Structure 1
Amino acid sequence: MAQFASINPTSLMRLIATPQAPVVLDLRIDEDFDTDPYLIPTARRHPYDRIQDLVPDLLDKHVVVICHKGLKISHGAAAVLRAKGLRAQVLEGGSLAWRAQDLPRIPASQMHRSGAATRWVTRWRPKIDRIACPWLIRRFIDPRAEFLFVPPGEVASVAEKFDATAFDIPGARWTHDGPLCTFDAMLAGFELHTPALDKMARIIRGADTNDHTLAPECAGLLALCVGLSSGFREDLAQLEAGMTLFDALYRWARDGQNETHDWQEAPV
């Protein structure tokens, strides 16, 4: 199999939640999907025989297509996209290979079934959890997600009127549960448990609940998030800056925990 035309599950997982993350399309037929109703992180469903409809939105993007076994449907769809000038790859072994390697999979029951970009709403002037949760959603659930920040008393009504999912507010589907914060609730609900995300969860929980005994990094994250909030008047501008902060935290949790730094004067 030509290397340019395919990507293995481990390599794809390494790309997810990084600046090099591809657009992931789940093209499984309904029969195969219904027998295993889970999605690879960031994947969205689309009919394989209408793949050409997505071409205008996929220009200049890296695309990975997925079917049940990584055979005819994936290779046909990827070839159609490449014929249109796109960079398209097949997930080797399809969804079966991803499952066999026990990589994270999101229950379809927790996802918006329309296929459209999701909309979320929470309290304005975010600090920690309300930046961490949008980061998780955009990096692992829906890269196209839209976030609304409104007064606390209006969150529920805005969610109802604007077809949005409320989070990090009492009574919402996604919110604190005892000592656990909303980021914890989302990891559990979306079944997104990896060593890196679980490490992040402890730090975020400690910073958000002021329990700095959970991890030595909690106080530092609190300081950075408070400083970030103080530096931006607009919540959406703060969110975009916060995405970079949590990108860095994720890469540290995944790849850099054992790295230390000690300045030493260079020899003359």
Structure 2
Amino acid sequence: MPAPNAITPDKLARLVASPSAPRIIDLRDGPTEAIPGSLFPVLLDPTQWGYASGSSAVLIDTDGSGLAVAAAAILRSEGVAAEVLDGGFAAWAASGLPTVSLVHLPPRHDDGQTWWVTRARPKVDRIACPWLIRRFVDPQARFLFVAPGDVLTVAKQQQAEPFDVADEGVFWSHRGERCTFDIMVEAFGLDAHEPLVRLATIVRGADTDRLDLVPEAAGLLAISLGLSRIHSDDHAQLEAGMAVYDALYRWCRDAQGEKHNWSSHQPARGKVSS
């Protein structure tokens, strides 16, 4: 049984990468891997983090008995529903739960965010990749959409990481039959997480005109093209697309076995008494 104001790794795992997930705040010094969706505060004082009363947070340290305990207590005094991960990151890793590798994470700006830049008018890969980054790698990541010929210039000027660009010097791009989303899943060490592997096949099929890979690829392509015509603003399209990938991820994670037809959700009929 976890201590008061603590959450078990298994319970937190069910919340990770969901729109309603608490802020996962990692207080360890210079980790190379982390719980997906973790934040790394620039300031040490929790009262300066600016979290609103009524919000929720989970504090992470090495074993659940260090800095996280005090930080969670301070946040609770600010009205934040703050818990400590029971057993800390060590317990999470020992449970075999997914972790994200930070080795390929680009340098953070002074505000703690990573900045990314890609081509304007996104369709599939350029929405799927930001979703992956925000849900699993950096929830506060900033994305810039510019004309194709300006991507590398803006990347250099703004210290933003280019992605989904056909240039030999860009790390985050297509390789062979794999799309950029595939590369990110692998490079961030998430290729052992089966739901993301399933989702990557759907994204690859929709993004590379391989609709034969899985039936869901055609549906994703249709939705992506529809969104691109609804929204003239790339950031509005990204926000709308986040819900699409949230739903696909949850389907990949725990809804594939559920069927739906005219009779599957009808209430059971009671017997007529004689």
TM-score by length of 2: 0.89
1:207 aligns with 2:209: no
Give the aligned length. 262
- Worse overlay, 258-267 or 155-164: 258-267
The equivalences for 1:102-181 within 5 A come to 102-114=96-108, 116-171=112-167, 172-181=170-179
Partners in 1 of 2:81 and 2:209 — Cα distance? 46
Q: Secondary structure at the match of 2:103?
A: helix
Partners in 2 of 1:20 and 1:72 — Cα distance? 26
Amino acid aligned to 2:56: H
Residues 19-61 of structure 1, C-alpha deviation per residue, up to 9 Å, x if partnerless?
2211111112x3xx5xx6311112123479533321x235432
Partners in 1 of 2:54 and 2:207 — Cα distance? 38
For the Cα contact (< 8 Å) 2:163–2:172, is it kept in 1?
yes
1:196 aligns with 2:195: yes
Partners in 2 of 1:247 and 1:75 — Cα distance? 31
Partners in 1 of 2:44 and 2:242 — Cα distance? 35
Partners in 2 of 1:41 and 1:27 — Cα distance? 14
Q: Secondary structure at the match of 2:51?
A: helix
Partners in 2 of 1:112 and 1:263 — Cα distance? 49
Amino acid aligned to 1:51: P
Partners in 2 of 1:78 and 1:158 — Cα distance? 39
Higher helix share: 1
The change in CA–CA distance for 1:224 and 1:120 in structure 2 (over 3 A counts) is: same
1:50 aligns with 2:50: no
For the Cα contact (< 8 Å) 1:118–1:144, is it kept in 2?
yes
The change in CA–CA distance for 1:126 and 1:261 in structure 2 (over 3 A counts) is: same
Q: Percent identity?
A: 45
For the Cα contact (< 8 Å) 2:51–2:80, is it kept in 1?
no
Partners in 1 of 2:64 and 2:155 — Cα distance? 38
Partners in 1 of 2:231 and 2:201 — Cα distance? 26
Q: Secondary structure at the match of 2:149?
A: helix
The change in CA–CA distance for 1:230 and 1:113 in structure 2 (over 3 A counts) is: closer
**Offset of 1:3 from its aligned partner?**
6.1
Give the aligned CA root-mean-square deviation in angstroms. Answer: 2.1
Partners in 2 of 1:152 and 1:260 — Cα distance? 42
TM-score by length of 1: 0.91
1:24 aligns with 2:24: yes
The equivalences for 1:67-78 within 5 A come to 67-78=61-72
Partners in 2 of 1:74 and 1:178 — Cα distance? 44
Q: Which residue of 2 aligns with 1:93?
A: 87
Amino acid aligned to 1:148: L
1:39 aligns with 2:38: no
Amino acid aligned to 1:40: I
1:64 aligns with 2:63: no
Q: Secondary structure at the match of 1:109?
A: coil
**Offset of 1:68 from its aligned partner?**
0.7
Q: What are structure 2's unaligned runs of at least 5 residues?
A: none
For the Cα contact (< 8 Å) 1:48–1:73, is it kept in 2?
no
